[in-house]
Amino acid sequence: MGLIQAVKGAVGGMLGDQWKDFYTVPDNLPSTAALFSAVPRGTNAGRGSNTHASSNIITNGSKIVVPEGYGLLLFQDGKITGLAAEAGGYEWRSDDINSKSIFSGDGLLDPLVKQSWERFKFGGQPGAQQMAIFVSLKELPDNRFGTQSEIYWDDGFLNTQVGAVTRGTYTLKIVDPILFVKNFVPATYLQPGQVFDFTDIDNAAASQLFNEVVGSLAPAFSAYTNDPSKGNRISKIQMDSLGFAKSLSEAVENGYQWKSDRGLAIVKTAIISIEYDANTKELLKTVQRADALAGARGNSNLQASVAQGFQSAGENGGAAGIMGLGIAGGAIGGLGSLQQPVAPPAPPADDPIAKLKKAKEMLDLGLITQADYDAMKAKALGL
């Protein structure tokens, strides 16, 4: 009928002493390995010694140890007959009425896997011989993405199209082993000794995922920078690995149905570099200057400019220079009658920085609304 759970959770030396021969995961697996055959483990005084065999065929009475972070899939004639996503020790029994076919646990896999199991489960009586395959349920690191030329998207904060060349990495997780195997993994990897690795350059299926991620980068950047909760700033992407991973995962799901069709999800991202195109760089510089002149910081800059002008005028022309600035008062015009200084003449009307500063002052005084300010900012920056 299926599997009997002998030990739930962590397994150690005691179980190894009881089971002199059992199947488990191979040794020295790379951290990026996603799918691989179970291997028999002969024991010596309760400890493994024979770790090089590649046969993954189990029969009645075979013992199987599932370590933490892995799931076990059983096959017969290409069909899935059992799944164990809980760590522990199991025994395969084809004729025991108390055995079960699925152990999905109470975590993330539970609601997803049970739906897939009902969809793909083996319909008849399992035979006496089964093929055992392990699948990693951990985050699989070092999956790379990158663009050779600029990608473009509409940016909500800058209110225009921006472009960049970028590269980085992401971690991938198999959230539904049944969908992953049935709908994505090529049959060649369901054989003894084979290892499905997402980072293998000869793995055509993994290369397809790379291309789909690259094709989803522009929608992901757009979704992230146009989300009001993120502040609509592209400069935040490199500091928000989880937030951008969510946007990238949603973009991949919308475009290629990774989770619903393949049981895969992007968990975290790390953007190694992002290089904006020339137009975007200039636009960012303009916005940074405008930000520097906004609010209290802008007032400080203005006061410093006035003080510098006052000092320069005094050094160059004494009282006459000060009078030239229009900041000496009284009929006689002496230094003793100086009043509060006034701002120097306004910059040319076509100065965008001056326009933004004036608009910000009007906004702070309540003379205009936020919408009016945004419109004036867009016009001043030529957006």
198 vs 237, more confident: 198
**Two tokens, residue 367:** 């003379």
Residue 3 confidence (pLDDT) above 80: yes
Instruction: Please return the burial class of 23, using the count of CB atoms within 10 Å of its CB with bins 0-12, 13-18 and 19+.
Output: buried
Q: Which residues make Cβ contacts (< 8 Å) with residue 336, sequence separation at least 6?
A: none
255 vs 55, more confident: 255
Q: Write down the pLDDT at residue 229.
A: 73
Q: Are strands 102-103 and 79-84 parallel, antiparallel or unpaired?
A: parallel
Q: Are residues 124 and 226 in the same domain?
A: no
**Two tokens, residue 365:** 């005084």
Q: Are residues 130 and 146 in the same domain?
A: no
Residues 231-259 have pLDDT tens digits of 667 777 878 888 899 999 999 999 999 99
Comparing CA positions, the residue from 80, 74, 92, 9 lying closest to residue 38 is: 74
Residues 5-52 have pLDDT tens digits of 888 766 655 565 678 789 999 988 899 999 999 999 875 444 444 444
Split at pLDDT 50, 70, 90, the class of 95 is: confident
Residues 272-300 have pLDDT tens digits of 888 999 998 888 888 777 777 665 545 55
Tell me which H or E stretch contains 377: helix 370-380
Residue 355 confidence (pLDDT) above 90: no
Taking the C-alpha atoms of residue 64 and residue 38, their distance in angstroms, rounded to an integer, is 9
Q: Are residues 131 and 144 in the same domain?
A: no
Q: Write down the pLDDT at residue 38.
A: 94
Comparing CA positions, the residue from 86, 169, 76, 195 lying closest to residue 128 is: 76
Summarize the confidence of residues 75-86 as an average pLDDT: 90
Mean pLDDT of the chain: 80
Q: Write down the pLDDT at residue 330.
A: 45
Residue 87 confidence (pLDDT) above 70: yes
Q: Which residues make Cβ contacts (< 8 Å) with residue 30, sequence separation at least 6?
A: 195, 197, 199
CA-based radius of gyration for the chain = 33
Residues 374-383 have pLDDT tens digits of 888 888 777 7
Q: Are residues 46 and 104 in the same domain?
A: yes
Taking the C-alpha atoms of residue 94 and residue 1, their distance in angstroms, rounded to an integer, is 4
Q: Are residues 152 and 44 in the same domain?
A: no
Q: Which residues make Cβ contacts (< 8 Å) with residue 224, sequence separation at least 6?
A: 230, 234, 237, 243, 244, 247
Q: Write down the pLDDT at residue 328.
A: 42
Residue 104 confidence (pLDDT) above 80: yes
Split at pLDDT 50, 70, 90, the class of 346 is: low
Split at pLDDT 50, 70, 90, the class of 54 is: low
**Two tokens, residue 293:** 């002149």
Residue 310 confidence (pLDDT) above 70: no
Q: Are residues 107 and 205 in the same domain?
A: no
**Looking at 240, 258, 276, which one is the last position of a domain?**
276
Q: Are residues 7 and 76 in the same domain?
A: yes
Summarize the confidence of residues 144-152 as an average pLDDT: 91
How much helix, strand and coil, in percent to the nearest 5, is found in the chain? 40, 30, 30
Burial 184-223 (b: 16+ CB within 10 A, else e): bbeeebbebebbbbbbbeebeebeebbeebbebbbbbbbb
Q: Are residues 292 and 367 in the same domain?
A: yes
**Two tokens, residue 27:** 């040794």
Domain count within the chain: 3
Summarize the confidence of residues 345-350 as an average pLDDT: 58
Q: Are residues 148 and 109 in the same domain?
A: no
Split at pLDDT 50, 70, 90, the class of 336 is: very low
Q: Write down the pLDDT at residue 262.
A: 95
**Looking at 251, 276, 301, which one is the last position of a domain?**
276
Model confidence pTM above 0.95: no
Q: Are residues 316 and 190 in the same domain?
A: no
**Looking at 84, 106, 136, which one is the last position of a domain?**
136
Q: Write down the pLDDT at residue 184.
A: 95
The residues that bridge with 145 in the sheet, in sequence order, are 168
Domain range enclosing 77: 2-136
Q: Are residues 61 and 72 in the same domain?
A: yes
Three-state secondary structure string covering 66-127: ECCCEEEEEEECCEEEEEECCCEEEEEECCCCCCECEECCCCCHHHHHHHHHHHHCCCCCCC
